[in-house]
Amino acid sequence: MVEFALAPALNIGLRHAAAPIPRRRWAKEGWNRFSQWLSDSPKLGNSFLYTVYGTAGVFTVQTLEQWNKNDDVKKMEESTTSDETTSATDVVPEVETTKKPTYCWSVGNFDFDMARVAGMMVYAGVFNGPINSMLYPWLVKTFGAHVNLAILFDQLIYMPFWSVPSCWHVNGLTKKVLFGDEAVSTNPVELVCTVKDKVSETQMELSEKWVASVKWTMLIWFPTEAINMRYTPVHLRAPVSGMASFIWLTGMAFWTHVVK
């Protein structure tokens, strides 16, 4: 009787022991839903992903830039305070101070330029993510099984002559027109003139750093796309490239920032 009474409890215990861990099940179910969402809404899904990558990239660059400057300032301050033999006639090195950005978010010793953040967010979310969601299916339709040709087209034509210039210009217009020091004119004629001036200014900056930007682009994307276009399902190629885009956008956030 005891054995019969314990049998249901033992069976329940065995079923619970054999059941998958809820966290793993949730993770798998979450990934399946996320993958399905990217498949059903590729433009919206990749816009979200690339916005996250671009935002993280530009914050990373600004943190690294200011980290080095803060270290230099600390060393200079320590050298001036520790030198007790300095007389009044000695020249004390001045600590370089930089002007805070117009749209600044200060966190501790770090001042984040939100115009740079906005520029990269607009490029990544409005342009890069949605375009990439359409690019990979188009490459498959155009080149079929000729993966090497698709990679060469992507790296020798699309990236240097479309993606890199668009990154510069979308960033430039966002930072200089929408978040510039000058107020945006409501007069259509003046607004068009302002946009033309900023486009010309950005084009001059791009011409100086285009080669460096393309070298950085090929360093990241040639090996990434060689793997991505061969082994990743078509609807997941844009999200996978988005992971590499974090590194690429971090570098582009550095290159497209022109210090004046």
- DSSP code, position 112: E
Indicate the average pLDDT of the chain: 79
Indicate yes or no: pTM above 0.85.
Answer: no
Query: What does the pLDDT average to over 3-32?
Result: 59
Pairing of strands 110-113, 104-107: antiparallel
Closest C-alpha among 233, 232, 245, 225 to residue 152: 225
Q: Residue 259 has what pLDDT?
A: 53
User: Rounded distance, CA 115 to CA 98, Å?
Assistant: 16
CA dist 14 → 5, 19, 23 (Å): 15, 9, 19
CA dist 5 → 1, 12, 16, 75 (Å): 6, 12, 18, 76
Q: Residue 164 has what pLDDT?
A: 92
Give the lowest-confidence range in 40-49, 64-73, 167-176, 202-211: 64-73
User: Rounded distance, CA 47 to CA 187, Å?
Assistant: 32
